[in-house]
Structure 1
Amino acid sequence: MSRIQEQIETTLSKTEPEVEVLLAEVLGGTTVRLFIDHPDGVSLELCERVTHHLAGIRERYGLEVSSPGSERPLTKPAHFRRYLGQRARVRTRGAHGGQGSFTGELVGANESEVTIAAETGVVAIPYTEIKRSNLVPGE
């Protein structure tokens, strides 16, 4: 998890405890893109409240706050467990078994790795090797 994401999670845990931070990433050194979720869904009003609570981040960066959409980012073990049985794309930091990207059904997730049934077979990928991952909408 990035330092900026940790800062955002700490701030929102005090002001909007039901908001789940799915992914916070710095783009081009000038903008933070933040994907959030909430048990009642993500509304424009919620995005505005979150933006307001993150004044310290806005002093240093432009801030984009949005819902995850159909290609929801998966960044924590709990995210992978929640979506077992669904299709996902997992991109690794380097070649993992000769590949850098795997798309298939999420079939397992524990605290250290996710298991995906990809086109090339079933593969277990440690979270430390994952660069980016997201759900893949139904095809």
Structure 2
Amino acid sequence: MIEKIKRGLKNNLQKINPWKKQRLNISPERQNSPVGLCLIVPASALKNLGEKEPINISNIERLIDNASYFLCTDIDEADDIFERIETTTEDIKTVSEQREVYVRINISDGEDMIGKKIPYILKRNLPHYGSANIIELACLKYLSISGLEKFNRI
């Protein structure tokens, strides 16, 4: 009798586990793959923000609102894009407030943001958990289409 109960429980657990795996459908790669949010904003939008620093969701939303160009993509493509953009070594804190600046933010768990072409939808898909860090800040040498072809223009 006890053996029959054990088999029944085992069968029930086997039925439940596949359902749980299917329902959750979370892979380790998805959880650990940050995205690169690339923005072109005026220097005035970078108040109190610095390179290699964490950034909160409200500041990311503010930067998106101030962006003239934006793109959210995987980390490798974000690296390639930065290499194609012409930047200067000028200190961002000393340039004109209207000067265009490239900002790259790595966001963990932001896969739902990749490929979004409308700022509102990009902001709506910002994860409210995880972490975000400013990876690159650089003044643009020229605000020309060169290097910005993959960006979405606002």
Which TM-score bucket, shorter chain as reference?
A: under 0.3
Higher relative contact order, structure no. (Cα contacts within 8 Å, ≥ 6 residues apart): 2
Higher strand fraction (1 or 2): 1
**TM-score (ref. length: structure 1):** 0.24
Larger Rg: 2
- Per the normalisation by structure 2, the TM-score is 0.23
Compare the two structures and name the one with the higher helix fraction: 2
